[in-house]
A and B are shown apart, each in its own frame.
Chain A
Amino acid sequence: MKGSDNIEAILLHNLYDPLLYYTDETPPTLQNWLATDYTVSEDKKTYTFSLREDAAFHNGDPVTASDVKYSFQRMMDMQQGFSWMWSGLLDPENVEATNEHTVKMTTNEVFAPFPYTLPFFFIVNENEVSGNAKSDGQFGEHGDYGTEWLEDNDAGSGPYTLTKRDRKQQIVIGRNTDWWGSFPDGNVYESVTTEMVQESATVAGMMKEGAEMSDQWLPLKTYEELDGVDGVSVSAKATFNPFYIYMHTQREPLNDVHVRKAISFAFDSETALNDVMSGDSNHLNGPLPSAMWSHTNDLPTYERDLEKAKAELEKSDYSASDIDLTYTYVSGLSTEQNMGLLLQSNLQELGATVSVEKAPWTKITQMCTSKDTTPDMMAVYLSFSYADPDTFLYPAWHSSSHGSWTSAAWYENDEVDSLLTEGRQTIGKENRIPIYQQAQKRIAEDAPALFVMNQATRNAIADSVKGFQDNGIIGYRQSFQRFYQG
């Protein structure tokens, strides 16, 4: 399983257990899960985890250190799913099972966010997976690493077990009554069915007819409609879904900081939040969403002010008529399109021209691989990985990330580079906060993007469903062991 789509994320969070897991709060912090505790060595590179002794896989096998080692080896050999988080950082040979319930992991360098990545490392049953691997796979002696078998079976220790998986139709999971963890008191869900329904009108119909929870991908209008239905409420929470409009800082005229500031002052973010969106998304103040720790409000901000915009333009080497830009958005995403049209009309008042162009996502990712083909301005929802500021800042603003859609501004600032590197290498949240605050400040001063909004994530939920939590982690909203019927 790659964990890269929603269904797989739901399965991972319910069928498998990681060593550490996130708490319900926003921003989430870490809690022990399969590990009862862990220690960090003096050189900050070796983490030693003690595993719980009462955890067992669904077939009854105990969860051991050897399973952890195998799970890591398997993931890194396959190079899929979340393996990018540890690629180059932790080599499989540096994961050791020192005894049945102790695992030692030694990273190649000091990487402070490491523990925050571990909730994405799910442990599989070594015996079961290797016993069911197809011999003629692409991974040598490991065959297919059990990939095919795992499509219809599970080898986890999590709160639920896989009952049925009908591709494209539904998945059914049943409660694991032998789970080591605890379910809430009350009427917990013995079985949960996830139906795959692609058409929003059909989802709305099903919610009205008694379905208990929708996903987060319905059109805004459908949520508004569902919010008015008896027995259904819509949860809307802005967590970690920042929307940027990148400006290509290495192409004229956007390589001039004053031009970028002029555009920032000209853009009407109030209209963006209230009219393009329905008003329940947050203003994004700088590069980090306010839900993330280390976020600061002590940054230069760019409220709409045409006079200031003109003044900035005066300071630049360009006149308004020199500014002729393209804004590129992902085909089919109407929010991104409307943001582009708003930007177009805002800049028109300044005398500048913007052409709004769409492209398929696959094309956009390809365009961003080169400085020459990256669009002048580009709309992006920055994706969220682990609950650490590094997840947003490093891929977007560190110059070593260039060539990826996450860093479409081609931003280069030595001070920011060294701050972001330092942030990765400094252990302890309290020590890292000032570093990231300083980095945010420097980035905001350079205005390499319009930091438009932090979009609310919505789910429609039946009133009978209790225990819903949204801490911003994909798949976590649907980890059903926290749910019960009220």
Chain B
Amino acid sequence: MGYRDFLIKRGLSTIPMFIGLSMLIFTLARVIPGRPARLALGPRATDEAVRQLRHQMGLDQPIWLQYINYMTGLLHGDLGQSLISNRNVATDLIQYLPATLELTTVAMLIAIAVGVPLGVISGQHKDAAPDNLSRLFSFFNVSLPPFWAGILLQLIVAFGLGWLPATGRIGDVSPMPITVTGLLLVDSALAWNVDAFISAAQHLALPALTLSLAPMADIARMTRSSFIEEYDKDYVEGLQTHGIPDKLIAYKYVLRKSFASTLTIIGLDYGFLLGSAFVVEIVFSWPGMASYGVEAILQKDMNAMVGVTLVVGGSFLLVNFLVDVLYGFFDPRVWHEGE
């Protein structure tokens, strides 16, 4: 099997997974108790109005027919009407998803930028002081509940020192960046809008830092252990006896070989971040998809619930696929298997 075949096979296998996910989510959203039409119209709406809305929403049809209709709509980019915003769920998601993506991506970049060197330093100095310090730091990060870390950062950095804003996504800047990608950092950079870029970066700093703490710890731990395993191999000693600098050995040879397992963790964590960003989004009033999803669940806005879950689940599948692609790139044994 060549690399291309591996990719095709791996790519195709995500389709049944996505269909399975959609069936599960769709059924769950419809069987959990609560009456969405009643909730949407308010507790005192007349029964007639509720009946009409149920009919409009297609809730009086058998569930399999509802599912087929939904999936047909999905293929045309129609995710149904949201009861909260009165708009198509797709329109809402296009608005909220970039905010969440920007937050999780920057959080992940911070986590990688800090976590990987931390893991390498730890591995190089196994059981010495830098290793212990780094492990303590990771342990601290992973056990800190994100809402608590977020509030703490707000209290100290935003309210106490006044260095960074505590809430929102961008300040009052003029002109506002025009939406191209929806990622404010990218949009303002594209337009050379320095004020907007700085404001967006300032608003992003605290929530992204908060969200990066747990994956940072994960990445550091994983890098450390795979690094140590690789570092113990004979060729490292060989390189050392040839007088190649330690830094070069660590980052160019050992890290590259041991990076595959770290990559898996990065992929898993990234998918996980998309789903778990809601705590951070709520603390920092970040207008992202996660808080939209929480509201959808509370209001039993079914189409919104299904839409959010499919996007998060779909992203998870996509990220895992990309990780496999990279995995194969770093370690060809993966796709040579079975030859």
Residues of chain A whose beta carbon lies under 8 Å from any beta carbon of chain B: 2, 4, 79-81, 83-85, 87-88, 138, 147-148, 151, 166-170, 195-199, 201-202, 205-206, 208-209, 360, 362-363, 365-366, 383, 385, 395, 404-406
Contacts and interface: CB of A to CB of B under 8 A. Distances in A.
Given A148-B86, A168-B287, A80 B41 contact: yes
B45 A79 contact: yes
A23 B312 CA distance: 48
Contacts of A385: 44
A84 B282 contact: no
Interface of B: 33-35, 38-46, 48-49, 52-53, 56, 85-87, 95-96, 147, 151, 154-155, 158-159, 166-169, 282-285, 287-288, 291-292, 300
11 contacts: A79-B41, A79-B48, A79-B49, A79-B52, A80-B40, A84-B45, A87-B45, A198-B291, A363-B33, A365-B43, A406-B43
A195 B167 CA distance: 9
Contact of B285 (A138, A198, A209, A404): A198
Nearest to A395: B44
Given A199-B151, A206-B167, 10 more contacts: A79-B49, A84-B41, A87-B46, A87-B49, A169-B168, A202-B284, A205-B154, A206-B166, A208-B159, A209-B159
A116 B167 CA distance: 39
Nearest to B91: A148
B283 A168 contact: no
Given A83-B49, A148-B87, A383 B43 contact: yes
Contacts of B287: 166-169
A88 B46 contact: yes
Contacts, number: 114
A395 B45 CA distance: 12
B265 to A, nearest CB: 29
Contacts of B43: 365, 383, 404-406
A169 B99 CA distance: 12
B49 A84 contact: yes
Contacts of B44: 84-85, 383, 385, 395, 404, 406
A365 B44 CA distance: 11
Nearest to B44: A84
Contacts of A196: 285
Contacts of B38: 365
A69 B44 CA distance: 23
Nearest to A368: B43
B151 A84 contact: no
Contacts of B292: 168
A362 B300 contact: yes
A202 B53 contact: no
A365 B154 contact: no
A166 B95 CA distance: 10
Nearest to A362: B34
A366 B86 contact: no
Contacts of A83: 45, 49
Nearest to B50: A79
A169 B40 CA distance: 22
A4 B41 CA distance: 8
Contacts of A88: 46
Nearest to B92: A167
A84 B42 contact: yes
A333 B40 CA distance: 21
B52 A2 contact: no
A202 B34 contact: no
A90 to B, nearest CB: 13
A383 B85 CA distance: 23
A366 to B, nearest CB: 6
B34 A363 contact: yes
Nearest to A405: B43
A209 B161 CA distance: 11
Given A168-B96, A199-B282, A205 B159 contact: yes
A480 B43 CA distance: 28
B86 A147 contact: yes
Given A84-B44, A195-B167, A202-B167, A79 B53 contact: yes
A202 B151 contact: yes
A202 B279 CA distance: 13
Given A79-B53, A80-B41, A168 B291 contact: yes
Nearest to B167: A197
Contacts of A198: 282, 285, 291
Contacts of A366: 33-35
A387 B130 CA distance: 68
A368 to B, nearest CB: 10
A365 B86 contact: no
A472 to B, nearest CB: 18
Given A170-B168, A205-B158, A199 B33 contact: no
B42 A138 contact: no
A80 B166 CA distance: 36
A166 B34 CA distance: 29
A166 B285 CA distance: 12
B43 to A, nearest CB: 6
Contacts of A138: 56
B283 A199 contact: yes
Nearest to B45: A84
A202 B159 CA distance: 9
Nearest first, the 3 A-B pairs at minimum CB distance are A362-B34, A168-B287, A79-B49
Nearest to A367: B33
A366 B46 CA distance: 15
A151 B81 CA distance: 14
Given A148-B87, A168-B291, A363-B33, A81 B168 contact: no
Nearest to A81: B42
A81 B271 CA distance: 38
Contact of A360 (B34, B85, B87, B151): B34
Nearest to A1: B86
A195 B166 CA distance: 12
B90 to A, nearest CB: 13
A167 B95 contact: yes
Contacts of B39: 362, 365
A119 to B, nearest CB: 16
Nearest to B158: A205
Given A360-B33, A362-B34, A365-B38, A167 B151 contact: no
A166 B168 CA distance: 10
Given A81-B42, A205-B159, A395-B44, A169 B169 contact: yes
A54 to B, nearest CB: 33
A102 B147 CA distance: 56
A108 to B, nearest CB: 14
A473 to B, nearest CB: 16
